[in-house]
Amino acid sequence: MQSGKNSYTTLKAEVVHTAEYVEKRSRFIAALTQVTTPEQAQAFIDSVRVQHYDARHHVYAYRLSDGFCKASDDGEPQRTAGFPTLDVLKGQDLQDVCCVVTRYFGGTLLGPGGLVRAYTTATQRACEAARTAGDLQIMGLCVYVRCQVSYALYERVARMATDAGASQVDAQFAADVEVTFLFEAGTQAAFLQTLEDLFAGEKPYEVSDPVFVARSV
C-alpha cells in the first residue's frame, strides 16, 4: 500500500497507449500501461522488445504506488533516456505505470539534448493519449463498512450512509440485511457514531482495512 497520500493517478488496467515522435529520421515509439509490481513491469518491457525486435534501444521507466521506481537508458548515453522518461511520469503524477520507449535509429546522432527532448516528448505524447482517451483513473484510499441491520432500518441506514458521502456497493437480503458501503478513508467516523447511537451503543458493523479503489478520473 502506498504511504503518505490518500490518492494517486494511474492508467486503467489492461490498456496500452502508444505515441510516436520523429527526430532526424529516428523514430521514438512510447508504449504506456498499468503495472503494479516489478514483475509486471518486466513482462511488459519484454513484450515490447519482442514486438520491436529489430529496434536498437528499448528505454524504459516505471513507477509504483509503493514508492519504488526504476529507469534504464538501454545503451543510450547515461541519463539521456530512462531518467527523462521517469521524469515525465513523475511530472504527470502517474503511479503504477510503465513506459517503454523504443528507438529506431535514423542514422543521425542527436546528442544528449536531442535525446532528452525526444524521449521526453514521446513519453508525454503517450500520457496525453491516455488522458484524451479517458483511460486515466484516480485511486482513492477507502474503507468498506459492512452493516447488519433489520429490514425496518435498512432504508434509514442507507440514507444515513449516503448523506455521509458513502456509496452503497452491495446488499444481501436474508433474515436481516447485510449492506456494504464504501467511504473515503477518514470520512466514516460520523456515520459510525450515528449508527451506534441508533443501536443504543452497539456496533452492528465491520470496517475493512484501508485499500486503494478506483474512484474517478
Query: Does residue 96 surpass a pLDDT of 90?
Result: yes
Angle 82-91/111-132 helices, nearest 10 degrees?
40
**pTM for this model (two decimals):** 0.81
What's the pLDDT at 216?
A: 58
Sorted by sequence, the CB contacts under 8 Å of residue 99 that are 6+ apart come out as 30, 31, 32, 60, 61, 62, 85, 88, 89, 123, 126, 127
Nearest to 97 by CA among 78, 116, 71: 71
Whether residues 104 and 176 fall in one domain: no
Q: Estimate to the nearest angstrom the gap between the alpha carbon of 147 and the chain centroid.
A: 29
Whose grid coordinates read 486515466? 136
> Domain for residue 60, yes or no?
yes
Q: Are 45 and 57 in contact, with CB atoms under 8 Å apart?
A: no
**Strand order of the sheet with strand 69-72?**
16-23, 26-34, 97-104, 57-63, 69-72
pLDDT at position 148 is 96
Strand 69-72 and strand 57-63: the pairing is: antiparallel
Q: 151 — phi, psi (to 5°)?
A: -60, -35
Number of Cβ atoms within 10 Å of the Cβ of 46: 12
Instruction: Name the 3-class secondary structure at 76.
Output: coil
Compute the average pLDDT of residues 171-188.
96
From the list 148, 144, 147, the residue with the least C-alpha distance to 167 is 144
Q: Are residues 24 and 115 in the same domain?
A: yes
How many other β-carbons are positioned within 10 Å of the β-carbon of residue 152?
8
Query: Do 41 and 100 fall into the same domain?
Result: yes
The answer to whether position 145 is within a domain reads yes
Full domain range(s) for residue 193? 138-214
Same-domain check for residues 150 and 116? no
Same domain, 186 and 108: no
pLDDT at 4 over 60: no
* pLDDT tens-digit readout, 24-79: 999 999 999 999 999 999 999 999 999 999 999 999 999 999 999 999 999 999 99
Indicate whether 61 belongs to any domain: yes
The pLDDT value given to residue 6: 85
- Structural domain ending residue among the three candidates 103, 134, 165: 134
Same domain, 54 and 129: yes
Q: Could you tell me if residue 189 is inside a domain?
A: yes
Residues 30 and 111 in one domain: yes
Boundary (domain end) residue, out of 112, 134, 156: 134
Same domain, 156 and 107: no
Q: Residue 4's beta-bridge partner residues?
A: none
Residue with cell 448523506: 163
Residues 26 and 105 in one domain: yes
Residues 38 and 93 reside in one and the same domain: yes
Question: How many separate domains does the chain show?
Answer: 2
Give the C-alpha distances (Å, rounded to integers) separating 27 from 33, 87, 100, 119, 203.
Answer: 20, 20, 13, 10, 62
